[in-house]
Amino acid sequence: MKVVELYRYPVKSLRGHAVPSADIETMGMEGDRRWMVVDKDGQFLTIRQIPAMTTIDVEHRGTGILLKHDRHGSHAVEAPGSGAALRQVKIWKDMVVARSADPAAGAYLSAILGRPVDLVYFDDPKNRPVDPEFGQPGDYVGFADGFPLLIATTGSLDHLNSHLARPIEMARFRPNIVLDAEGAWPEDNWKTIRIGAVALRIAKPCSRCVITTRDPHSGEQPDPREPLQTLGKLHRSAKGGIIFGQNAIPNNAGTISIGDAVEVVEAGVSNLT
């Protein structure tokens, strides 16, 4: 088993990009979901509310990002410094202190999305602890939904696609790490894996939502029922959630690259609640 794809998503719910290698920090992939679009009240926004977010490309550039759009050109944004304004933002049930980005970035995004929005930056690696039900003291996450990394396997996607009238691409599920494991749902039986020098704890399965029904590039819905309708028949948690992929927490920092071998260090049924 080896790593076959790696993806970084610099801004939550905007486009992601495949990368050949990635530095893994204790709070996730370096540069992944360190930025987030919020409304004027600080509430996080995603493709769920604004499908057009998928039309905005993002290039990771060292300490900053470059936002790009087919009709609106590009806009470079530097990570705000320690003197930038702090504000409270809400992501799911968590209230998080974030740095306000350049107001011009908010104006650029507002013009594309058709509503007033701001861009914020996650600069404190110890600002948002992982849910203690699934994590340990010292586990932190940025603006990802709840965990530092999301792992998926080609075998599980192949199994799902074999039941779909129109096969879909892995990008629908927005994973960070894709492994070439064979068969359906092998990731459900991992507790700890090692990729290179990085050990990853498998925390819990990832419940899926309507985002998976949208094309990851255009935001369009080829079929508003799929793949959720079929996936719901194939793979659910004990509480009924439709699941694909596993959330993971790094035990240590290191670099992961395409082609790296993957070792299952500890096997066992994952928490399917």
pLDDT tens, position by position, 7-55: 999 999 999 999 999 999 999 999 999 999 999 999 999 999 999 999 9
pLDDT tens, position by position, 248-261: 999 999 999 999 99
Task: Note the pLDDT of residue 167.
Answer: 97
Q: Has residue 273 got a pLDDT over 70? A: no
In the chain, % of residues over pLDDT 70:
99
Q: Has residue 198 got a pLDDT over 80? A: yes
Section 136-150 average pLDDT? 97
> Considering the chain, what is the average pLDDT of its residues?
96
Section 230-235 average pLDDT? 97
Task: Note the pLDDT of residue 272.
Answer: 58
First to last CA, the chain: 27
Task: Note the pLDDT of residue 239.
Answer: 85
Predicted TM-score (pTM) of the model is 0.96
Task: Note the pLDDT of residue 238.
Answer: 85
Task: Note the pLDDT of residue 141.
Answer: 98
Q: Has residue 78 got a pLDDT over 90? A: yes
Q: Has residue 245 got a pLDDT over 90? A: yes
Task: Note the pLDDT of residue 269.
Answer: 83
Q: Has residue 192 got a pLDDT over 70? A: yes
Q: How confident is the model at residue 134 (pLDDT cuts 50, 70, 90)?
A: very high
pLDDT tens, position by position, 57-75: 999 998 899 999 999 999 9
Q: How confident is the model at residue 271 (pLDDT cuts 50, 70, 90)?
A: low
